[in-house]
Amino acid sequence: MQRGRFPRVQFRMKRLIPAAVAFLAPLALAQSPAPTALDSYLANVKTLRAEFSQSVTDGRGQPVSQADGKFVIVRPGKFRWELTPQSVANSPASPQLMIADGLNLWFYDADLEQVSVKPSATALTATPASLLSGDGNFHDVFRVASAGKRDGLTWVKVTPKGADADFREVQIGFVGNGTELKRMVLKDKLGQTVRLDFSTSVRNQPVADDEVRFTPPAGADVIGTPAS
């Protein structure tokens, strides 16, 4: 079984990072689309904290990886996403970290001692991350539509408008009409399905500046050039 992996972005690390994400908008309603549970959930949100379990399956529905994770979001444009893959056999899991500091998007793999960085303006365009941490132009980038009710949840389907996105669709399940975030199911262009089940999700709690700031550890291999 492979390690759990982060949501896909528009550049590559040595280790393949699957779409998932995290993941990240008050929403500008271009052409007045019908409000959805996602609009209701994100209205007036400044910060968001959540914990979740993640499972990845291939195109045949076979398990690929499992992981536990948590994230904190400060809108617009900042977040911290931590993922701990479940250990396989005698191999301990190595946590991975993704941070958007409002200027750059950083990936840190402690096992590889590797940091990858790219300016947020290009790395987060039309990615699942912009669903929750966007700057208010949500409907300019994505098509958003209510997707009915199932499994006791209210669903919203999100698809990217651009052809260059690394995922095909995301479906997000809420308790009620956006009362609580419970599940996210993402299908990527490789046929994989990433499912996040949220155990907690809390809006508008304080977030320390250090939580959404990153300094590469001494000795880490840094790939890419950060914007300044």
pLDDT in tens, 8-21: 544 444 443 443 34
Q: What is the rounded CA–CA span in Å between residue 20 and residue 177?
A: 23
How many domains is the chain partitioned into structurally?
1
- Please indicate, yes or no, if residue 74 is contained in any of the structural domains: yes
For 44-90, how does the pLDDT look when each residue is reduced to its tens digit (9 = 90+)?
899 999 999 999 999 999 998 899 999 999 998 899 999 998 865 55
CATH code for position 100:
2.50.20.10
- Please indicate, yes or no, if residue 93 is contained in any of the structural domains: yes
Residue 32: pLDDT band by 50, 70, 90 thresholds? low
- Please indicate, yes or no, if residue 210 is contained in any of the structural domains: yes
Which two three-digit tokens encode residue 181? 């975030």
- Please indicate, yes or no, if residue 194 is contained in any of the structural domains: yes
- Burial code (b: 16+ CB inside 10 Å, e: under 16) for 25-64 equals bbbeeeeeeeebbbbbbbeeeebbbbebebbbeeeeeeeb
Residue 93 one-letter amino acid: A
- Please indicate, yes or no, if residue 191 is contained in any of the structural domains: yes
pTM of the model: 0.80
- Please indicate, yes or no, if residue 64 is contained in any of the structural domains: yes
- Please indicate, yes or no, if residue 177 is contained in any of the structural domains: yes
Residue 23: pLDDT band by 50, 70, 90 thresholds? very low
- Please indicate, yes or no, if residue 146 is contained in any of the structural domains: yes
Domain span at 55: 37-216
For 86-138, how does the pLDDT look when each residue is reduced to its tens digit (9 = 90+)?
865 555 667 889 999 999 999 999 888 999 999 987 777 667 777 788 766 67
